[in-house]
Amino acid sequence: MTWPYKDLIAIHDLKREEIATILDMASSFKEISKRDIKKVPTLRGKTVVLLFYEPSTRTRLSFELAAKRLSADTTALSASGSSFTKGETIMDAAYNVMAMAPDCIVVRYPYAGIPRKMAQLLPCSVINAGDGYHEHPTQALLDMFTMKERFGTLDGLRVAIVGDIMHSRVARSNVYGLRKMGARVVLVAPKTLLPPGVDTWGVDVSAELDPVIPDADVIMMLRVQKERLNRQFFSGDREYSFFYGLNRARVEKMKTDAVIMHPGPMNRGVEITCDAADSARSMILDQVENGVAIRMTLLYLSLGGSVNVD
Partner 1 sequence: MWIKGGLIVDPASNIQEKADLYIKDGIIAGIYPGGSQKSDEMVIDASGLWVLPGLIDMHVHLRDPGYEYKEDISSGSLAAAAGGVTTLACMANTDPVNDNPSVTNYILDKARQVSKVRILPVGAVTKGLKGKELAEMGLMKKAGIVAVSDDGNPIEDSSLLRMALEYASTFGLTVMSHCQDRNMCASGVMNEGALSSLLGLPGIPPISEDIMVARDVLVSQYTGIPIHITHISTQGSVRIIELAKHRGVKVTCDVTPHHLLLTEDRVRTYDTNAKMYPPLRNEADRLSLIAALKGSLIDCIATDHAPHARDEKDLDFDIAPFGMIGLQTLLPSIMKIHLDYGIDFIRLLACVTAHPARIFGIDGGEIKEGSRADITLFDPEAKWIFTEQDVKSKSKNSPFFGQEFTGRVVQTIVQGKTVYSGN
Question: What does the DSSP 8-state code read for residue 228?
Answer: G
Min dist CB 133 to partner 1, Å, is 5
Of 137, 174, 146, whose CA–CA distance to 290 is shortest?
Answer: 146
215 dihedral zone (left: phi>0; alpha: psi -120 to 50; beta): alpha
3-class DSSP assignment, residue 253: coil
Q: Which is nearer to partner 1, 63 or 133 (CB)?
A: 133
Which of 51, 114, 127, 129 touches partner 1 by CB under 8 A? Answer: 114
Restricted to residues 66-105, the positions that interact with partner 1 (CB under 8 A) are: 85, 89-91
Q: Using CB under 8 A as the criterion, what x/- string covers residues 160-179 for binding partner 1?
A: ------x--x--x-------
Q: Does 281 bind partner 1 (CB under 8 A)?
A: no
Q: Which is nearer to partner 1, 48 or 140 (CB)?
A: 140
Min dist CB 172 to partner 1, Å, is 7
81 to each of 9, 36, 224, 296, how far by Cα in Å? 21, 38, 20, 27
Which of 77, 101, 112, 249 touches partner 1 by CB under 8 A? Answer: 112
CA distance 92 to 71: 28
Min dist CB 110 to partner 1, Å, is 8
Q: Which is nearer to partner 1, 63 or 109 (CB)?
A: 109
Q: Does 117 bind partner 1 (CB under 8 A)?
A: yes
Q: Which is nearer to partner 1, 172 or 262 (CB)?
A: 172
Restricted to residues 120-149, the positions that interact with partner 1 (CB under 8 A) are: 120, 131-135
Of 7, 25, 9, whose CA–CA distance to 17 is shortest?
Answer: 25
Task: For residue 158, give every residue at least 6 positions away whose Cβ sits within 8 Å of its Cβ, in sequence order, or none.
Answer: 183, 184, 186, 215, 216, 217, 218
